Structure 1
Amino acid sequence: MTAPESPSPIASVDTVRKALTGYRVMAWATGVWLIALCYEMVMKYGFGDDSLGWIAVVHGWVYFVYLLFTANLAVKVRWPIAKTVGILLAGTIPLVGIIVEHFQTQKIKAQIGLS
C-alpha cells in the first residue's frame, strides 16, 4: 500500500510562489511581533509598565493579515481544513509559526518543483 499523495495545487506555479512569499513574510512578521508581545506582557505584569500597550494592537493586526495570507496559500495548494487550522494556530505560539513556516515551505517547494 502506498502513501496518499498530496493533492496537486489548483493554481499556477507563479501564483503559488507569490502566495508562498506572502505567507513566509507574514509568518516571520507574526513571530517577531508575538515575541514583542511577550516582552510587553512581562513589562506590564512583571514591572507595572503600561507604556508598551500599542504592541498588542500592532500584533493583532499583523496576525490578522497572517490569517489572510495563510488562507490564501491554503486554497492555492489545497491544504485540508484541519492542516490549515493547525497552521493558523501555529502563529499564536512564539517561534512555532516560524518553524512551521520553514517545514511547510520545504514541502510546497518540493510539491511544485520550486528551488
Structure 2
Amino acid sequence: MGGALLRYRAIAYVVGVILILLVVIGMPLKYAWDEPIVVETVGPAHGFLYMVYLIAVFDLARRTRWGLRRMLLVMLAGTIPFVSFYAERIVTRWVREPATVSG
C-alpha cells in the first residue's frame, strides 16, 4: 500500500503544478496576449499526466477499498487548480490513519 500511496502523492503534486502553470500562466498568455505556446506545450503534458493521475487514484482506491464516490471525488481533485494539493493531504491522512471501527 505504501508504494501506491507514494505514486499517488508524486503524481498529485506534478499534476497540480502543471495545472497551475497552465491556468495561471498559459491561459492569460493565450487569451490576453495571443501567445498560445505555453498552452500548446503544457496542455498536452497535463492531459497525459492527468491520465496517469487517474490510474494512480484507481490503484490506490482499489487497494484501500474506497467507495465509488470517494474515488471519483479524488479523481476530480486533479481538475481544479490547488485542490490536488489539498486532496493529497486528505488522502494521505485517510490511508495512514484508517477509521477505527467501533464495535
Write out aligned runs for 1:1-115 (5 A): 16-38=1-23, 39-52=25-38, 53-111=40-98
Unaligned runs of 5+ residues in structure 2 are none
Q: Distance in 2 between matches of 1:51 and 1:32?
A: 18
Q: Which amino acid aligns with 2:60?
A: L
**Identical columns (%):** 33
Q: Deviations over 1:45-93 (max 9, x none)?
A: 0111122211100110111100000100000001100110011001100
> Where do 5+ consecutive residues of structure 1 fail to align?
1-15
Size of the aligned set, in residue pairs, is 97
Give the residue type in structure 2 aligned to 1:51.
Answer: I
Counterpart of 1:87, as a letter, is V
TM-score by length of 1: 0.81
Which structure's CA Rg is the greater one? 1
Deviations, residues 2-48 of structure 1 (Å, cap 9, x unaligned)? xxxxxxxxxxxxxx100000000011011001001112111100111
Alignment RMSD (CA, Å): 1.2
Give, in whole Å, the separation in 2 of the partners of 1:111 and 1:21.
17
